[in-house]
Structure 1
Amino acid sequence: MKIVLTTSSTTLDGHLDKRFGRAPGFLIYDTEQQSCEFVDNEQNLNAAQGAGIQAAQNIISTGAKHLITGFCGPKAFKVLQSAGVKIYDTDAVSLKECIERFNSGSLMEINSANAESHWG
């Protein structure tokens, strides 16, 4: 199973970035292989609009069905939800703690967008 975390880190030693569409990148953690792959999101950092939608499409293309982030706008949320990606919010700071909470079932799944368009 693949879990995506919003971050600038290429390893689980980093911190969660609470932005989704304008996060520096995405760390894709494969629970079966216990491996990580970093996907750069630089093209969306300064996008005038559509950063969340493009980021959502990038997440979907990885095959991941779980996203741990902080804030997700309405358009990105709709794209992710339509693709069956579950989105989780957390107050955890470290990526390792995010994974631990995911594995223990203690993350809160969000059921609607929790940021306005063009947040962050």
Structure 2
Amino acid sequence: MKVAICSQGDSLDSNVDSRFGRCPYFVLVETDTGVVEAAANPSAMVGHGAGIGTVQFLVSKGVEVVCTGNVGPNAYEALRSSGIKVYSVDSGTVRQVLEAFTAGKLKPISNPNVRSHQGMFGHTADK
């Protein structure tokens, strides 16, 4: 299974990023083989549609699960429609999140948990 973890950096030791569409990186892990790939998020700095663009990018990478802090309504619907499961993370390193996921300790997100445009510059984390 290919898991994408929203990250502030490009390694397993990077801190997770709570933003989905605007996180700088995804650390992609193939849980069956242990292969790790870091990928810059091509939608992190776009003006509009970051969440949808990010979902399209993850679909192209074959991602089946995303671990993130926040996901807005448009991105959530695109993830759901694409068959990508979403799990909630608060903090820690990518490695810690991966360990929690494989141990079954992360909670699935079953609805958007922030409003649209949450990760854009100047928007706060109000839910």
TM-score (normalizing by structure 1): 0.93
- The secondary structure found in structure 1 opposite 2:112 is coil
Shift of 1:46: 2.7
One-letter amino acid of the counterpart of residue 113, structure 2: N
Query: Counterpart in 2 of 1:5?
Result: 5
1:12-91 map, 5 Å = 12-41=12-41, 43-91=42-90
Identical amino acids, percent of aligned pairs: 34
Instruction: State the aligned residue count.
Output: 119
Unaligned runs of 5+ in 2: 120-127
Query: Counterpart in 1 of 2:113?
Result: 114
Q: What RMSD in Å do the two structures reach over aligned CA positions?
A: 1.2
- The worse-fitting range, judged by mean Cα deviation, of 78-87 and 27-36 is 27-36
Contact 1:7 1:23 in 2 (8 A): yes
Structure 1 or 2: more helix by fraction = 1
Query: Counterpart in 2 of 1:96?
Result: 95
Contact 1:10 1:36 in 2 (8 A): no
- The secondary structure found in structure 1 opposite 2:43 is helix
CA distance in 2, matches of 1:49, 1:21: 10
Shift of 1:100: 1.0
- The secondary structure found in structure 1 opposite 2:13 is coil
CA distance in 1, matches of 2:89, 2:44: 22
Greater than 3 Å deviation, 4+ residue runs: none
TM-score (normalizing by structure 2): 0.88
CA distance in 2, matches of 1:91, 1:39: 21
Contact 2:6 2:18 in 1 (8 A): yes
CA distance in 1, matches of 2:99, 2:45: 32
